[in-house]
């Protein structure tokens, strides 16, 4: 079962948690008990492929789904056709102590696919199981990667519709092209005049607008979320940490029971929280290393126990981590405080009212024990891309490079040489101008189209351009609507013909 972080009386099964997305009072759903795997069970995962591993892990959480249903979701989501490889999440050895977990082989070239390829299947199964007669309408605000991954996942999924709002000038050209060329009869994409917060606040407002929700219901529609506040987006992410460990075992790079460190480039705290769940389930993880860009609220928080978002919002070369409110931290705080709903409510209230809160000494001590944190500015990020290529001939994107920089800083500061897995969250092609600039300053990109830039990177790195990105530069633009922040409700109503 799953309980809300803010209300002890709100307890639901996984199908309901996934369908609802968020608890009615604004809390997030957390499993009432974290399942445990024995070392022997973890060892057995090495014999399975990614799909087999996913079924094993997911079955521990989606206990109200039949095993057949879970298997069905996994087999539809993680195909060679969609991921271009049967490995789904391959592990690349930079050397014999540092491994890159490539989570970007999915259709949109960012790690969001690992969850958003399977979430729509969880959702439609949940609708069948609960006898849902309404159409599920997914509203998404995106600063870049979530929008396209959600569109790709929900495109033409029966019983669902999806609308994505992106800040008109707040996404990269490639990210915009990927979204506005999306195929599918049930999708809509709109640019909102303003920044990401405007789009996000607009969507949040719709979720709590009673008149709008009533009109939706009359029209046979019900709202849900595809952001990482939805448990259905977190649970598939636990799988790949087990899978990375299983690959290390299979390749004799570790022995069963050996500890590893995990390094995660972090924004909304979803990905690293999944690694925390893996550790709690029994995966031998020593330290969880949280890497931030210059929006380093989390670095400060992990080091001091004080969360303070009162600072300038910086636009960086790792835009998917440009965030000052990391929603999923609430789940960690809930668990580490001993499931203290009152404390979580107090901290979240303080965050909302003052933009800051400080956790108690006990919770802070637990955080320091589990996590290590650091950050990289753009210059350090670019040099991490450059140096990694010079040393290993391996090209990484800007987000992964933030993690690589922080990992090196961790080793230097602590002397801990435990083998480490770095979560690589995007294909370098997705951020090719900054990647190229970092690889070789002398490359000139002036006047090049998006597609030409991809070609330069392809030639330079001797790797293929991902299909998802080249097609975005070739497909016709289907969505060019630009709306005011105040027109979001009207735009959704129009689109749904309410
Ligand atoms: C979303 C995203 C992140 C941040 O992940 P969180 O789960 O929000 O912490 C990092 N890198 C890339 C490329 C992303 O798209």
Best residue among 111, 263, 290, 295 to mutate for probing ligand 1, ranked by most atoms within 8 Å of CB: 111
CB 359 within 8 A of CB 337: yes
Asked if residue 170 has its Cβ within 6 Å of ligand 1, the reply is no
Cα angle 471, 151, 497 (rounded to 5 degrees) comes to: 120
Tokens at 218, concatenated: 């009359």
Which neighbouring-strand residues pair with 98?
420
Atom of ligand 1 nearest to the CA of 397: 13
Selection from 202, 212, 84 nearest residue 141 by Cα: 202
Asked if residue 199 has its Cβ within 6 Å of ligand 1, the reply is no
For the chain, 498 residues long, the average pLDDT of each consecutive 10-residue run is 96 94 88 98 98 98 97 97 95 98 96 97 93 92 90 94 91 91 96 84 84 93 88 97 98 98 96 98 98 97 97 90 90 97 96 96 98 98 98 97 98 98 97 95 90 94 92 93 95 93
| pLDDT value at residue 26 | 83
Tokens at 40, concatenated: 């022997």
Asked if residue 425 has its Cβ within 6 Å of ligand 1, the reply is yes
Bridge-based pairing of strands 187-192 and 160-167 is: parallel
Ligand 1 atom 4: residue of nearest CA: 267
Tens digits of per-residue pLDDT, 184-194?
Answer: 999 999 999 98
Asked if residue 267 has its Cβ within 6 Å of ligand 1, the reply is yes
Ligand 1 atom 14: residue of nearest CA: 320
| pLDDT value at residue 200 | 77
Q: What is the pTM of this model?
A: 0.95
First vs last C-alpha separation in the chain: 35
Report the separation in Å between the CA atom of 224 and the middle of ligand 1, taken as the mean of its atom positions.
21
Which neighbouring-strand residues pair with 426?
110
| pLDDT value at residue 23 | 87
Report the separation in Å between the CA atom of 266 and the middle of ligand 1, taken as the mean of its atom positions.
6
| pLDDT value at residue 43 | 98
Atom of ligand 1 nearest to the CA of 430: 13
Report the separation in Å between the CA atom of 497 and the middle of ligand 1, taken as the mean of its atom positions.
34
Selection from 357, 353, 354 nearest residue 329 by Cα: 357
Asked if residue 322 has its Cβ within 6 Å of ligand 1, the reply is no
Atom of ligand 1 nearest to the CA of 323: 8
Whole-Å CA distances, 303 to 25, 263, 347, 402 = 30, 16, 17, 18
Atom of ligand 1 nearest to the CA of 104: 13
Best residue among 265, 273, 328 to mutate for probing ligand 1, ranked by most atoms within 8 Å of CB: 265
In this structure, the number of other CB atoms found within 10 A of the CB of residue 239 comes to: 27
Provide the b/e sequence for 19-52 (b: ≥16 CB within 10 Å): bbbbbeebbbbbbeeeeebeeeebbbbbeeebbe
| pLDDT value at residue 355 | 94
Asked if residue 427 has its Cβ within 6 Å of ligand 1, the reply is no
Euclidean distance between CA atoms 342 and 348, whole angstroms: 10
| pLDDT value at residue 76 | 95
């Amino acid at each position: 079962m799953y309980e809300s972080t803010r209300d002890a009386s709100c307890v639901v099964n996984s199908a309901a948690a996934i369908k609802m997305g968020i608890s009615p009072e604004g809390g997030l759903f957390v499993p009432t008990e974290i399942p445990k795997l024995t070392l022997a069970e973890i060892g057995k995962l090495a014999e399975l492929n990614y799909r087999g591993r996913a079924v094993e892990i997911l079955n521990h959480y989606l206990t109200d789904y039949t095993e057949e249903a879970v298997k069905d979701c996994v087999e539809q989501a993680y195909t060679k056709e969609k991921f271009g490889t049967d490995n789904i999440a391959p592990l690349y050895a930079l050397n014999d102590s540092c491994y890159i977990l490539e989570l970007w082989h999915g259709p949109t070239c960012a790690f969001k696919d690992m969850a958003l390829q399977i979430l729509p299947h969880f959702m439609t199964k949940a609708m069948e199981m609960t006898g849902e007669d309404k159409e599920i309408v997914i509203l998404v605000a995106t600063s870049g990667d979530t929008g396209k991954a959600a569109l790709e996942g929900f495109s033409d999924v029966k019983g669902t519709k999806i609308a994505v709002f992106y800040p008109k000038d707040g996404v990269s050209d490639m990210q915009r092209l990927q979204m506005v060329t999306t195929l599918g009869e049930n999708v809509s994409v709109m640019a909102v005049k303003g920044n990401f917060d405007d789009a996000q606040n607009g969507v949040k407002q719709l979720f709590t607008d009673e008149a709008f929700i009533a009109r939706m219901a009359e029209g046979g529609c019900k709202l849900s979320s595809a952001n990482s506040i939805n448990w259905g987006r977190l649970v598939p992410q636990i799988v790949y940490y087990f899978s990375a460990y299983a690959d290390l075992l299979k390749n004799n790079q570790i022995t069963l029971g050996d500890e590893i460190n995990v390094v995660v480039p972090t924004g909304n705290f979803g990905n690293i929280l999944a690694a925390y769940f893996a550790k709690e389930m029994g995966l031998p993880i020593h330290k969880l290393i949280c890497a931030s860009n210059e929006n380093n609220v989390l670095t400060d928080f992990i080091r001091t126990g004080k969360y303070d978002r009162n600072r300038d919002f910086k636009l960086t070369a790792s835009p998917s981590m440009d965030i000052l409110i990391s929603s999923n931290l609430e789940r960690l705080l809930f668990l580490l405080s001993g499931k203290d709903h009152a404390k979580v409510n107090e901290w979240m209230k303080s965050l909302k009212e003052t933009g800051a809160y400080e956790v108690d000494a006990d919770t802070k001590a637990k955080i320091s024990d589990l996590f290590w944190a650091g950050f990289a500015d753009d210059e350090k990020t670019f040099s991490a891309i450059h140096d990694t290529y010079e040393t290993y001939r391996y090209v990484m994107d800007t987000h992964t490079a933030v993690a690589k920089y922080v990992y090196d800083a961790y080793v230097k500061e602590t002397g801990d040489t435990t083998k480490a897995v770095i979560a690589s969250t995007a294909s370098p092609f997705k951020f090719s101008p900054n990647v190229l600039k970092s690889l070789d300053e002398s490359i000139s990109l002036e006047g090049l189209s998006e597609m030409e830039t991809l070609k330069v990177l392809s030639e330079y790195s001797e790797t293929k351009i991902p299909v998802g990105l080249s097609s975005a530069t070739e497909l016709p633009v289907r969505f060019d609507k630009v709306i005011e922040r105040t027109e979001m409700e009207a735009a959704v109503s129009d689109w749904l013909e309410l």
